[in-house]
Amino acid sequence: MTTAPPTEAVPAEEAGGPARLSPALALTGAGIAVAVAALLSLAVGAIPIPPSRVIAVLIQSLGGRDAIDPALAGDALVILDIRLPRTALAMLVGAATALSGGVMQGLFRNPLADPSLVGVSAGSALAAAAWIVIGGSLAASIAPVVGTLGLPLAAFAGGLVASVILNVMATSGGRTSIVGMLLAGIAINGLAGAGTGFLVFIASEQQLRDFTFWTLGSLAGATWIKVLLVLPFAVAVALVAPMLARGLDAVALGESAAFHVGVPVERLKRIAIVAVAGAIGAAVAVSGVIGFFGLTVPHIVRLACGPGHRLLLPASALLGAALLTLADVVARTAGAPAEVPLGVITAAVGAPLMLWLLAARRRSMGE
């Protein structure tokens, strides 16, 4: 009865199984990628700093600013005040966006689903546009800090409002219909797009420049305040994700089958939607709309490690942190001293990858 080897975790290695990375290898690899990307992000910039000095500054700074060797003071200023908040923000936004994408795709049973698909990002973008065009100058005249914090908070509120509308529209009789939710998402996207378009139309030239840059995504304005703003939402979705993993695996069989095997499907959906709305709203608030990221990262992980969410979600978070940090390094060095919008880079890499994946999928599925 109980002669099965207790340690074998991947029975798929028997005859003809798909080639997949083991969980330990995938997570270790992604973890190393995060560390390398972070180091690179701290070392590269207008003033190049050798990685050895970056590490020295980081280690010494653990003892407080005063503990840093005076010979490193200049480097410490650049690293700790300018590059570290930006790197931290890239990692948090990357992890939160990729993780949210993985959860959404599992929930929608669709590998092409993305938080931007259901209108959360569009809601954030509309609120941000409204802030820039209508609210910002008004608030800044009251107190400068209101103007600074207002934009991210408005974007976050917009994302949350879109999620609530979505939930109300797609839920009837206590059940959320995935198809209804996708259609409602399309409608919300359209409405928010129309609103945003109108605001762009009435905006002044300066407002337009702010807004265009922001909608293409950027981490240029990274501050510790923004890091602290996105941190609780990123932590929340990261804490919730492991609890959703088994349920999302079961939802792949359909919502009824998931209920049959004991998954409280309605509760799972509510928790996932709120966690994703918070994470995406906060991410969009601090970095703008970074296209194709939440879509692509889980795709890559699924290809390498299989679709099981116990591994997919943490691996997506790590890979998302690493890849967005690297993308940001490219964003601020490719056209230096000017910055290329981050969303331009992620879309330029992500969209062709997406098309290639679709083509490969059609071939393998014989669709």
Partner 1 sequence: MIAARSVSLTIRGRTILAPSDLALRPGTVTALVGPNGAGKSTLLKILSGEIRPGSGEVAVDGTDIRAIAPAALARLRAVLPQSGDVAFAFTVDEVVRIGLAPGIPRATANEIVRRALAAVDLADRAAQLSPTLSGGEQQRAHLARVLAQLWSSGRGDACLLLDEPTASLDLAHQLLVLKLAQAQAAAGGAVLAVLHDLNLAAMAADRVVVMSRGRIVADGTPAQVITREMLGAVYGVSLGVERRGNRVFVLPAGMEAA
Binding site for partner 1 (CB under 8 A): 1-6, 8, 11-18, 109-111, 246, 249-254, 256-257, 259-265, 302, 306-308, 365
* Type of residue at 73: A
**CA-CA-CA-CA torsion for 225, 226, 228, 229, nearest 10 degrees?**
120
Q: Of 197 and 264, which has the nearer Cβ to partner 1?
A: 264
User: Least CB distance from residue 263 to partner 1, whole Å?
Assistant: 6
> Interior CA angle at 95 toward 179 and 127, to 5°?
60
Residue 124 CA to residue 137 CA, distance in Å, equals: 19
Residues 6 or more apart whose Cβ sits within 8 Å of residue 9: 22, 23
User: Least CB distance from residue 108 to partner 1, whole Å?
Assistant: 9
| 3-state percent breakdown (helix, strand, coil) of the chain, nearest 5 | 80, 0, 20
* Type of residue at 359: A
Q: Of 45 and 111, which has the nearer Cβ to partner 1?
A: 111
Q: Of 226 and 269, which has the nearer Cβ to partner 1?
A: 269
Strand partners for 172:
175
> Interior CA angle at 340 toward 193 and 35, to 5°?
105
Q: Of 25 and 253, which has the nearer Cβ to partner 1?
A: 253
User: Least CB distance from residue 270 to partner 1, whole Å?
Assistant: 14
Q: Of 6 and 70, which has the nearer Cβ to partner 1?
A: 6
Q: How far is CA 19 from CA 13, 220, 303, 308, 324, in A?
A: 8, 40, 9, 14, 26
User: Least CB distance from residue 255 to partner 1, whole Å?
Assistant: 9
Please answer whether residues 94 and 296 qualify as being in contact, where contact means their C-beta atoms are separated by less than 8 angstroms.
Answer: no
User: Least CB distance from residue 298 to partner 1, whole Å?
Assistant: 10
Q: Of 152 and 298, which has the nearer Cβ to partner 1?
A: 298
User: Least CB distance from residue 172 to partner 1, whole Å?
Assistant: 12
